[in-house]
Amino acid sequence: MAEMAVESDVMEAAGPYDRARALSAFKLGDITFYWITRACAISVLLILGGIIISLIVGAWPAIREYGAAFLWTQRWAPSADPPVLGALGPIYGTLVTSVIAMMIAIPVGLGIAVFLTEICPIWLRRPIGLAVELLAGIPSIIYGMWGFFVLGPFLANTFQPFMISVFDGIPVLGTIFAGPPSYLSLFNAALILAIMVLPFITAISVDVFKTVPPVLKEAAYGVGCTTWEVVRNVVIPYTRVGVIGGIMLALGRALGETMAVTFIIGNSFKIQSSIFAPGTTISAAIASEFAESDGLHQSGLILLGLLLFILTFFVLAAARLMLMRLEKKAGN
């Protein structure tokens, strides 16, 4: 049918019917389209390669000076002569804040998504959905200021003293939740991060939960499954790949978030056992010090950036691997 229509069109335009010419015109369009999209796709690789190369070039003096020890030494003294730089503090802070943020955001985000798609009365769906989208739309600097003026004081005056007194004297937990309470700490930054990445997890989970064929769910309900069982055994397994994708997107944001974290983490390069103590992350360290840095100090900051790049790469690669293994298992 479609071909007929096209033919008649071409006939009208070109007068005498010439099938070969019409086809070659289509082919030319096809080839152009193919190359344009291909060039777009390849440009991503070029841009990424350019970023990596410029990072390595910028970081080279620091790599030569500090070598691999950069990864596990903690002293950060840019004003020493020559500067002594070690990245362990920022690496530790990046990982700890991201892990805590994900520990909070994954259950809450999935909870919201399940509630929205499975349980929520229709009239409440739009307000909650809109609220989640608004959370994603708030600029990070606003989160930073809110954390600094509202969340920080609340945590320092109410939440932290409570946690400190609850865990006081218990081994390990007692050191993790140790005082004094602080407006600016790793934990406060992690909490802000959790709120910031929540919409990523929720929005993507809601979208993939909606793709579950109603037949499957209805069948499960039909054999007497509870809502929990349907979510647990039908919805989650069916949408696993999408949900993990959302979580990874959120983790990527948590690892790299800069402005809000810089505001509220306390920017201390020293690693302390308490999560209520100030710390720093890789991106916060770069944002804070880059403008006034030069020489080895600046090169060290670029090397930090390269590390963040590599760290994110490994996290995403690990996520891919995990997905592949999950799919294999599901296939069996």
Partner 1 sequence: MNFLRTIVAAGMVAASTSAFAADITGAGATFPFPIYSKWADAYKKETGNGLNYQSIGSGAGIKQIQAKTVTFGATDAPLKHETLEKDGLVQWPMVMGAIVPVVNLEGIKPGELVLSGEVLGDIYLGKIKKWDDAAIAKLNPKLKLPADAITVVRRSDGSGTTFNFTDYLSKSSADWKAKVGSGTAVEWPAGVGAKGNEGVAGNVGQTKNAIGYVEYAYAKQNKLTYAAMINKAGKTVQPTIAAFQAAASNADWAKAPGYYVILTDQPGEASWPITAATFILMHKDATDKAASQEAIKFFKWSFEKGAKMAEELDYIPMPESVVKLIEKTWSSEIKS
- Nearest distance from C-beta of residue 104 to partner 1, angstroms: 22
Of 325, 323, 306, whose CA–CA distance to 246 is shortest?
A: 323
- Nearest distance from C-beta of residue 69 to partner 1, angstroms: 17
**CA 256 to CA 220: how far, in whole Å?**
41
What is the contact surface with partner 1 in residues (CB under 8 A)? 75-80, 84, 148-149, 152-153, 156, 180, 182-184, 262-263, 266-269, 278, 280, 284, 288-289, 291-294, 297
Q: Which is nearer to partner 1, 55 or 184 (CB)?
A: 184
Q: Which is nearer to partner 1, 287 or 311 (CB)?
A: 287
**CA 268 to CA 278: how far, in whole Å?**
6
Q: Which is nearer to partner 1, 78 or 246 (CB)?
A: 78
Q: Which is nearer to partner 1, 12 or 292 (CB)?
A: 292
- Nearest distance from C-beta of residue 195 to partner 1, angstroms: 20
The three-state DSSP-derived secondary structure of 241-307 is HHHHHHHHHHHHHHHHCCHHHHHHCCCCCCCCCCCCCCCCCHHHHHHHHCCCCCHHHHHHHHHHHHH
**CA 63 to CA 60: how far, in whole Å?**
5
- Nearest distance from C-beta of residue 213 to partner 1, angstroms: 49
- Nearest distance from C-beta of residue 81 to partner 1, angstroms: 8
Structure token pair of residue 319: 């996520």
Q: Which is nearer to partner 1, 117 or 262 (CB)?
A: 262
263: left (phi over 0), alpha (psi -120 to 50) or beta: alpha
